[in-house]
């Protein structure tokens, strides 16, 4: 009896939702590209990360122009059958659900999220896109107005990165966030043994990890941030809320609710969809032959196709950058987490400060622990080079 009653409710819930879906899809397609951009005020200032001071910040009321979206989302697709109790939440998040790419598409949620995690994902996405007035935030440390996360993490869709860098002393690139929630699941016992400080296997690749104390008594190996100094996703988000929105985001402080919402969004972002490799197998072999995979490891536990080992490497003096949070620590300035190459197909500029305008320049700039790999790349004949570049462009 109970069971029958329940399934009747679910059936009618699905009916209501699919009616909503039809209406909302109509509204969404009618409004594509029509929304006026909302400008967020920015005072000029000088800073290392993110946007150059001269670039005006604009965030569109929808997410992106349709052309920038990459694969077209197939209308609103909810991850699983809904419970009646979730209907109210779905209704209040409907605009966000319609705007968001489908599960497992770029910018969409992981397809296997639970219903409550998907709702938290859409709610977090709304916070990620919105002007942070909910927070009482006072603005970034250098006096700029609070900046919505999606202003910077925007390409090719909300949650991505942004090409802003063009050289050694300019601002740094904004890294895409697709799939990075998965790094949180990797246990210290896996990351800890990865460095080879004495280079026992003679490949020149050593690597390092640093630990961070996240509570009074919890110590965890860093994995977030370009230098992998931040222990977990929540702390990375907390730092960003503080940095760009000026919220006192201490644990238990004003920004806590915001940190939880935003973390649920980033944690649920699906990795970039994997394209077929069949036509680029030659280039994949060259990639392995040059030992690029010594750092850009194709799979990191369940993160298939990430092309990163998740730890830090010293890429030599040319890429050392003693600015920002390591300005007073020359030794730290040479370490970079191996950049995940998934999603490379959407990037236009490369390396932490965007100094490389193409893949050739990016590989040429590798030094330090990557010297042997770069030497192998330099020795390639033109055909092998071309196939490596085609392979990279398919990631
Ligand atoms: C002005 C541009 C800008 C804004 C606004 C911004 N970010 Fe970032 N974000 C960056 C840059 C640049 C980095 C790389 C920082 C580093 O490690 O050097 C980054 C890094 C991150 C990372 C770590 C990524 C990784 O691979 O480890 C997360 C998570 C993140 N941002 C989330 C957010 C959230 C959430 C917001 C909104 C509160 C936000 N960001 C707002 C520019 C921005
Ligand atoms: C010793 C480790 C290591 C090896 C070996 C290595 N890389 Fe990298 N790679 C890195 C690190 C670390 C970065 C980030 C450097 C930075 O941003 O300043 C990077 C960045 C990149 C980027 C730029 C990605 C982006 O989005 O900015 C590309 C492309 C790349 N590597 C390709 C290769 C190829 C191809 C090879 C083999 C010829 C290779 N790498 C070998 C560690 C390595």
Q: Answer yes or no: is 73 within a domain.
A: no
User: Is there a cis peptide before residue 127, judged by omega within 30 degrees of 0?
Assistant: no
> Pocket of ligand 1, candidates 149, 172, 255: which has the most ligand atoms within 8 Å of its Cβ, to mutate?
149
Q: Answer yes or no: is 123 within a domain.
A: yes
Q: Which ligand is nearest to the CA of 160?
A: 1
Distance 239 CA to ligand 1 centre (A): 8
Q: Answer yes or no: is 205 within a domain.
A: no
Residue 343 — left, alpha, or beta (φ > 0 → left; ψ -120 to 50 → alpha)?
Answer: left
Q: Is 295 in the pocket of ligand 2 (CB under 6 A)?
A: yes
Nearest atom in ligand 1 to the alpha carbon of residue 258 is 38
Are the beta carbons of 74 and 273 closer than 8 angstroms? no
- Whether 322 and 225 map to the same domain: the answer is no
Protein residue whose Cα sits closest to atom 5 of ligand 2: 370
Distance 381 CA to ligand 1 centre (A): 39
Token pair 């010594």 in the structure block, residue: 294
Pick from 245, 268, 291: which residue ends a domain? 268
- Whether 24 and 168 map to the same domain: the answer is yes
Q: Answer yes or no: is 188 within a domain.
A: no
* Total of domains in the chain: 2
The pLDDT value recorded for residue 252 is: 60
Protein residue whose Cα sits closest to atom 4 of ligand 2: 370
* Measured distance CA(20)–CA(25) in Å, rounded: 8
Protein residue whose Cα sits closest to atom 15 of ligand 1: 225
Positions in the chain whose pLDDT score sits under 50: 1-47, 52-69, 134-135
- Whether 260 and 287 map to the same domain: the answer is no
> Pocket of ligand 2, candidates 345, 366, 372: which has the most ligand atoms within 8 Å of its Cβ, to mutate?
366
- Whether 60 and 96 map to the same domain: the answer is yes
Q: Nearest-CA neighbor of 342 among 222, 183, 113, 207? A: 183
Question: Could you tell me the CATH number of the domain that includes residue 309?
Answer: 1.10.760.10
* The model's pTM: 0.85
The pLDDT value recorded for residue 54 is: 46
Q: Is 349 in the pocket of ligand 2 (CB under 6 A)?
A: no
Q: Which ligand is nearest to the CA of 233?
A: 1
Distance 330 CA to ligand 1 centre (A): 23
- Whether 332 and 292 map to the same domain: the answer is yes
Q: Which pair of structure tokens corresponds to residue 268?
A: 């649920």
Residue 113 — left, alpha, or beta (φ > 0 → left; ψ -120 to 50 → alpha)?
Answer: beta
- Whether 302 and 257 map to the same domain: the answer is no
Protein residue whose Cα sits closest to atom 9 of ligand 2: 338
Pick from 268, 296, 330: which residue ends a domain? 268
The pLDDT value recorded for residue 305 is: 96
The pLDDT value recorded for residue 218 is: 85
Alpha carbon of residue 37 to chain centroid: 23
Q: Answer yes or no: is 208 within a domain.
A: no
- Whether 131 and 232 map to the same domain: the answer is yes
Q: Answer yes or no: is 198 within a domain.
A: no
The pLDDT value recorded for residue 392 is: 98
pLDDT digits (tens, 9 = 90+) for 65-81: 434 445 555 555 555 55
The 3 state secondary structure assigned to the chain is CHHHHHHHHHHHHHHHHHHHHHHHHHHHHHHCCCCCEEECCCCCCCCCECCCCCCCCEEECCCCCHHHHCCCCCCCCCCCCCCHHHHHHHHHCHHHHHHCCCCCCCCCECCCCCHHHHHHHHHHHHHHHCCCHHHCCCCCCCCCCCCCHHHHCCECCCCCEECCCCCCCCCECECCCCCHHHHHHCCHHHHCCCCCCCCCCCCCCCCECCEEECCCCCEEECCECCCCCECCHHHHHHHHHHHHHCCCCCCCCCCHHHHHHHHHHHHHECCCCCCCCHHHHHHHHHHHHCCHHHCCCCCECCECCCCCCCCEEECCHHHCCCCHHHCCCCCHHHEEECCCCCCHHHCCCECCCCCECCHHHHHHCCCHHHHHHHHHHHHCCHHHHHHHHHHHHCC
Distance 183 CA to ligand 2 centre (A): 18
pLDDT digits (tens, 9 = 90+) for 254-290: 678 889 999 999 999 999 999 998 999 999 999 999 9
Distance 235 CA to ligand 2 centre (A): 25
Q: Nearest-CA neighbor of 269 among 337, 342, 209, 339? A: 342
For strands 312-314 and 335-337, give the pairing.
antiparallel
- Whether 164 and 308 map to the same domain: the answer is no
Q: Is 311 in the pocket of ligand 2 (CB under 6 A)?
A: no
- Whether 149 and 296 map to the same domain: the answer is no
- Whether 308 and 223 map to the same domain: the answer is no
Q: Is 347 in the pocket of ligand 2 (CB under 6 A)?
A: yes
Residues with CB under 6 A from ligand 1: 49-51, 147, 149, 151-153, 172, 174-175, 177, 180, 224-226, 236-237, 240-241, 244-245, 262, 266
Domain that holds residue 11: 2-64+89-183+215-268
The pLDDT value recorded for residue 63 is: 39
Distance 151 CA to ligand 1 centre (A): 11
- Whether 32 and 98 map to the same domain: the answer is yes
Report, in angstroms and rounded to the nearest whole number, the Rg of the chain calculated over CA atoms.
Answer: 22
């Amino acid at each position: 009896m109970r069971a029958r009653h329940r399934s009747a409710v679910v059936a009618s819930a699905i009916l209501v939702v699919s009616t909503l879906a039809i209406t909302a899809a109509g509204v969404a397609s009618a409004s594509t590209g029509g929304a006026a951009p909302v400008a967020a005020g920015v005072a000029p200032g000088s800073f290392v990360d993110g946007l150059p001071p001269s670039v005006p910040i604009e965030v569109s009321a929808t997410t992106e122009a349709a052309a920038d979206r990459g694969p077209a989302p197939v209308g609103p697709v909810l991850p699983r059958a809904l419970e009646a109790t979730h209907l109210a939440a779905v209704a209040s998040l409907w605009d966000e659900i319609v705007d968001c790419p489908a599960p497992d598409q770029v910018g969409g949620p992981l397809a296997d999220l639970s219903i409550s995690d998907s709702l938290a994902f859409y709610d977090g996405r709304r916070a990620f896109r919105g002007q942070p007035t909910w927070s009482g935030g006072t603005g970034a440390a250098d006096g700029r107005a609070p900046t919505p996360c999606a202003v910077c993490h925007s390409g090719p869709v909300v949650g991505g990165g942004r090409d802003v860098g063009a050289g050694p002393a300019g601002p740094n690139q904004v890294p895409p966030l697709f799939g990075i929630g998965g790094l949180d699941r990797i246990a210290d016992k896996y990351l800890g043994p990865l460095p080879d400080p004495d280079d026992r296997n003679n490949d020149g690749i050593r690597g390092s990890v640093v630990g961070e104390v996240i509570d009074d008594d919890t110590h965890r190996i860093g994995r977030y941030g370009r230098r992998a100094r931040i222990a977990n996703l929540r702390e990375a988000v907390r730092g960003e809320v503080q940095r760009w929105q000026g919220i006192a985001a201490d644990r238990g402080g004003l920004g806590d609710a915001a940190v939880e919402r935003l973390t649920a969004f980033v944690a649920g972002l699906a990795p970039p969809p994997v394209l077929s490799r069949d036509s680029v197998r030659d280039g994949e072999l060259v990639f392995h032959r040059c030992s690029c995979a010594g750092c850009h490891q194709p799979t990191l536990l369940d993160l298939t196709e990430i092309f990163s080992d998740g730890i830090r490497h010293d890429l030599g003096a040319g890429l050392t950058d003693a600015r920002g949070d390591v300005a007073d620590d020359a030794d730290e300035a040479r370490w970079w987490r191996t950049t995940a190459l998934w999603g490379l197909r959407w990037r236009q500029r490369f390396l932490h400060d965007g100094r490389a305008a193409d893949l050739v320049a990016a590989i040429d700039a590798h030094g330090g622990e990557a010297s042997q790999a770069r030497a192998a790349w330099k020795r390639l004949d033109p055909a092998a080079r071309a196939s490596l570049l085609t392979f990279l462009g398919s990631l």
